[in-house]
Amino acid sequence: MTNLLHVILLGIIEGVTEFLPISSTGHLLIAEKFGLGARSDLFNVGIQAGAILAITLIYWGRIWQLFTQWRVPANRDYLFKLIVAFLITCVLGLVVTHYGFKLPETVTPIAWALLIGGFWIIAAEQLAARQVDRTEVTWRVAILVGIAQIVAGIFPGTSRSGATIFTAMLAGTSNRAAATEFAFLVGIPTMYAATGYELLKVLKGGGAAHEDWTALIVGFVVSLIVGFIAVKWLLGYIRTHRFTAFAVYRIVLGVALLLLVPAGA
């Protein structure tokens, strides 16, 4: 019973934090280190897949439009930019993987990433507010968003959604809703690819044979449902609010972790 509760809590954490700019990886690592226990790579991949499916369902109409109406110049241009951003992430991801560059998954670097990211969000919002409201996604935005995804992947606690949304806003797509849509859409193939890659590694390593499939399925379903609700709420929230509340949360959590957790823990 306790294990099932832990699985449900991890699914909720993944669903809530995957697309909010507060870092799902950082929160899952913190949760696992402080009471919920470490999980297999396959479990972590599985609950992430639930969150990815949630946002795919939310944006399905837009995705369908881009692929079925690609002859429309605006749709074709937007689709090409999504593809380029995704390919940049893939290429840089292969380079990073080849050289094994990754920070240790301990609380201290996560705390610093949360803290720095909080101030980054506040600064980005202030700078974007001074720009003319732009919904267009330029090639500069597409390229920098592709790079931002890798930066977020390297530094646990950064938040992929936060890095890409605010990179887009500073690079020219100053409208929050437009920047968020592009960041989320480019994140869909990126996360599917990353999930597939991790899944293949686990299966080749024989990790599936000892997996708790009931826990994985429960975590997947919980993440899917909670992720759907969280993204729907966020898309409504940003129409009338800035991301400042998320920045404050990151700063408070980062400071708390630095003060309460021993270095290297």
Question: Stretch 183-189: mean pLDDT, rounded?
Answer: 93
Question: Stretch 104-123: mean pLDDT, rounded?
Answer: 87
Percentage of residues in the chain having pLDDT higher than 70: 95
pTM of the model: 0.89
- Has residue 231 got a pLDDT over 80? yes
To the nearest whole number, what is the mean pLDDT of the chain?
A: 88
Higher pLDDT, 265 or 32: 32
Burial class (CB in 10 A: 0-12, 13-18, 19+), 176: buried
Question: Stretch 101-107: mean pLDDT, rounded?
Answer: 72
* Tokens at 162, concatenated: 């936060």
Q: What is the pLDDT of residue 143?
A: 96
CA distance 18 to 137: 23
Question: Stretch 20-33: mean pLDDT, rounded?
Answer: 85
Look at residues 84, 193, 56, 75 and name the one whose alpha carbon lies nearest to residue 146: 84
Question: Which positions ≥6 away from 15 have C-beta within 8 Å?
Answer: 47, 50, 51, 54, 222, 223, 224, 225, 226, 227, 228, 229, 230
Q: What is the CA radius of gyration of the chain?
A: 18
